[in-house]
């Protein structure tokens, strides 16, 4: 049975490994004074009135592995990092939305990530599996059964061999029963067993056909996803978000006292070094009707004339629509004949009025872009004022590259790699062309966990949280250097915009100002 007992926040945050990670950061970055002040840590030149440093953040999707994302952002927030622009897909879209909506509670000295964790502590993940009771039992069985696919394959093989033996026995007994009386009884028994086997196969096939038709009628998804949508709506309502205007207002609120450190800044910004620094969020989903990547909330006006006709919880629901596991999220009755709607389709997707559909069908954003770091790239900025950080969930089992895998793939492995090649290409292509963004990406290794295990135990949830926290600490301690990142961005910008590719002129684009 799924666990329903509420667990305290401290079950996660006071885990010895999490406290050890914070202590390591304090040992490296504390200045004399109160413990855990992290004042030596510099990750950005953009700060607010309280000294918090700001970064852009993109988060990858990964089902229930998203608990690790919360562990990662928990560490970032505890050391004084806050978020300007946020983007994410699927599980990354969930944490992105919650970081934008669920603000820190200063009265309890509670960060956004801690408040998000409180919501997670109160919610059994298996509630999200809200399909037919038989489907819920089947999913729980599949999750708990090790090597499920192998066992099903072996069971099918045994059934096939058994049926073949029975049929051969029927034939042999039928031919011999007139010569040897003993085969008369064997023939009758064999006929009965063969009939029972065929009946079982027929019942399974019939029920399978019924489930397939039910699946088709319900958007080719086992679970409606209504429980998840209502949960997100509840959290939004708790935090004053009831419509798109509310979401844009809370996500786009500029931090008080936003300023840039007393360092070099871009000449083209004129007298306002904070020009263009505007918080926002982007949630990625995939429309399989028009075959387009959709960015919410920016593209809401493709589907409705009035933004209050769509609840922002639908954006999150659309982004996490794992194919087959959840029903596709469908928006119907698009007013395609309205000039304003046609204008928006032309602006966003370059589509002509005749090509605008009457309805769209969303599946998980990870189908097209599981790590949408490209949307946070601003090529106009010469000198970066803050970095773009990313959190990747690496759930791939480490491969032994000394083995020839190309000639030894099973059908399942072949289809899996084919799908992953398609869905990761878009993001990989951007990183290949803009490799310096790799300097801002932290990786959480979660290959030992099942991303669809919605029956996950509290202990495994804590393990994922710990892995996220440890990855964030490792990133800050070993992998990221703000000055190196900033210098690399300046050089790349100069390379792209200089026809002579003369890097000696990099210093000429800098101007120093003193506040």
Q: Which among 287, 308, 285, 304 is positioned nearest to 296, based on CA atoms?
A: 285
Q: Which has the higher per-residue pLDDT, 352 or 183? A: 352
In this predicted structure, the answer to whether residue 392 has a pLDDT above a threshold of 70 is yes
- The per-residue pLDDT of the chain, averaged, comes to 87
Task: Look at 60-69, 157-166, 170-179, 412-421 and tell me which has the smallest mean pLDDT.
Answer: 412-421
In this predicted structure, the answer to whether residue 514 has a pLDDT above a threshold of 70 is no
Q: What pLDDT is recorded for position 132?
A: 79
Three-state SS for 449?
A: coil
Q: What pLDDT is recorded for position 303?
A: 97
In this predicted structure, the answer to whether residue 149 has a pLDDT above a threshold of 80 is no
Maximum Cα interatomic distance, the chain, rounded to a whole number of Å: 110
Q: Which residues of 384-414 are buried (b: 16+ CB within 10 A; e: fewer)?
A: bbbbbbbbbbebeeeeeeeeeeeeeeeeeee
In this predicted structure, the answer to whether residue 297 has a pLDDT above a threshold of 80 is yes
Overall average pLDDT of the 37-48 stretch: 95
Distance separating alpha carbons of residues 479 and 70, to the nearest angstrom:
20
Overall average pLDDT of the 210-231 stretch: 80
Distance (Å) of CA 27 to CA 22, 32, 38, 50, 474: 9, 11, 9, 22, 13
Q: What pLDDT is recorded for position 221?
A: 85
In this predicted structure, the answer to whether residue 513 has a pLDDT above a threshold of 90 is no
Q: What pLDDT is recorded for position 402?
A: 67
At 20, list the tokens: 């050890």
Rank 111-125, 168-182, 431-445, 482-496 by mean pLDDT and report only the highest.
111-125
**Cβ-based burial of 106 (10 A; exposed 0-12, middle 13-18, buried ≥19):** exposed
Helix or strand (DSSP H, E) at 318? helix 313-319
Overall average pLDDT of the 145-152 stretch: 62
Residue 503: band (very low, low, confident or very high) from pLDDT cuts 50, 70, 90: very low
Supply the DSSP symbol for 79.
T
Residue 454: band (very low, low, confident or very high) from pLDDT cuts 50, 70, 90: very high
Q: What pLDDT is recorded for position 409?
A: 75
Overall average pLDDT of the 137-142 stretch: 78
- 177-193 pLDDT, tens per residue? 777 787 778 888 888 88
Q: What pLDDT is recorded for position 145?
A: 65
Overall average pLDDT of the 485-496 stretch: 80
Give percent of the chain above pLDDT 90. 57
Q: What pLDDT is recorded for position 351?
A: 96
Q: What pLDDT is recorded for position 5?
A: 65
CA 250 to chain centre: 22
**Per-residue three-class SS string for 222-281:** EECCHHHHHHHHHHHHHCCCCCHHHHHHHHCCCCCCCEECCCEEEHHHCCCCCCCCCCEE
Q: What pLDDT is recorded for position 218?
A: 61
In this predicted structure, the answer to whether residue 509 has a pLDDT above a threshold of 60 is no
Residues annotated as catalytic are 90, 364
- 409-444 pLDDT, tens per residue? 776 677 677 767 776 777 777 777 777 788 899 999
- 20-41 pLDDT, tens per residue? 999 999 999 999 888 889 999 9
Residue 267: band (very low, low, confident or very high) from pLDDT cuts 50, 70, 90: low
In this predicted structure, the answer to whether residue 88 has a pLDDT above a threshold of 90 is yes
- 205-217 pLDDT, tens per residue? 887 777 667 666 6
At 469, list the tokens: 């926290």
Overall average pLDDT of the 230-239 stretch: 98
Q: Which among 464, 221, 212 is positioned nearest to 364, based on CA atoms?
A: 221
DSSP bridge partners of 285: 294, 364
At 343, list the tokens: 């204008």
Supply the DSSP symbol for 455.
T
Residue 2: band (very low, low, confident or very high) from pLDDT cuts 50, 70, 90: very low
**pTM of this prediction?**
0.85
Residue 269: band (very low, low, confident or very high) from pLDDT cuts 50, 70, 90: low
DSSP bridge partners of 282: 87
**Cβ-based burial of 295 (10 A; exposed 0-12, middle 13-18, buried ≥19):** buried
Residue 220: band (very low, low, confident or very high) from pLDDT cuts 50, 70, 90: confident
């Amino acid at each position: 049975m799924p666990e329903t007992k509420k667990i305290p926040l401290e079950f996660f945050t006071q885990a010895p490994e999490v406290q050890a990670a914070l202590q390591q950061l304090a040992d490296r970055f504390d200045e004399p004074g109160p413990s855990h002040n992290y004042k030596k840590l510099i990750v950005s030149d953009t700060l607010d009135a309280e000294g918090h440093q700001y970064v852009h953040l993109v988060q990858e999707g990964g089902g229930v592995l998203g608990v690790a994302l919360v562990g990662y952002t928990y560490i970032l927030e505890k050391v004084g990092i806050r978020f300007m622009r946020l983007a994410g897909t699927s599980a990354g879209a969930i944490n992105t939305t919650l970081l934008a909506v669920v603000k820190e509670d200063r009265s309890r000295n509670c960060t956004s990530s801690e408040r998000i964790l409180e919501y997670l502590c109160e919610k059994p993940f298996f509630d999200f599996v809200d399909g037919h009771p038989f489907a819920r039992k089947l999913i729980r069985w599949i999750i708990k059964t090790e090597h499920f696919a192998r066992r099903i394959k072996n069971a099918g093989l045994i059934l096939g061999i058994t049926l073949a033996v029975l049929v051969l026995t029927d034939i042999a007994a039928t031919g011999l029963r007139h010569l040897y009386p003993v085969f008369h009884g064997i023939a009758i028994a064999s006929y009965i067993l063969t009939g029972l086997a065929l009946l079982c196969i027929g019942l399974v096939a019939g029920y399978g056909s019924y489930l397939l038709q039910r699946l088709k009628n319900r958007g080719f998804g086992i679970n409606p996803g209504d429980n998840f949508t209502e949960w997100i709506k509840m959290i939004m309502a708790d935090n004053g978000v009831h419509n798109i205007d509310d979401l844009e207002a809370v996500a786009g609120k500029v931090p008080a006292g936003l300023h840039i450190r007393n360092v070099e800044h871009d000449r083209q910004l004129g007298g306002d070094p904070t020009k263009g620094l505007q918080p926002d969020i982007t949630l990625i989903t995939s429309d399989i009707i028009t075959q387009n990547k959709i960015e919410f909330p920016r593209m809401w006006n493709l589907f409705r004339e009035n933004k209050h006709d769509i609840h922002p919880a639908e954006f999150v629901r659309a982004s996490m629509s794992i194919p087959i596991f959840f029903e596709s999220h469908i928006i119907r009755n698009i007013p395609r004949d309205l000039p304003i709607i046609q204008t928006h389709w032309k602006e966003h997707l370059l589509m002509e009025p005749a090509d605008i559909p009457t309805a769209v069908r969303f599946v998980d954003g990870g189908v097209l872009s599981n790590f949408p770091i490209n949307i946070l790239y601003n090529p106009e900025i010469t000198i970066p004022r803050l970095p773009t950080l990313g959190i990747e969930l690496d759930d791939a089992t480490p491969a032994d590259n000394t083995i020839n895998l190309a000639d030894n793939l099973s059908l399942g492995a072949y289809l899996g790699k084919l799908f992953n090649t398609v869905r990761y290409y878009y993001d990989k292509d951007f990183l290949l062309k803009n490799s310096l963004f790799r300097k801002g990406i932290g990786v959480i290794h979660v290959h030992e966990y099942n991303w669809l295990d919605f029956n996950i135990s509290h202990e495994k949830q804590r393990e994922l949280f710990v892995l996220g926290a440890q990855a964030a600490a490792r990133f800050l301690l070993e992998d990221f250097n703000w000055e190196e990142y900033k210098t690399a961005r300046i050089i790349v910008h100069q390379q792209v915009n200089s026809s002579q590719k003369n890097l000696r002129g990099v210093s000429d684009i800098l101007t120093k100002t003193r506040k």
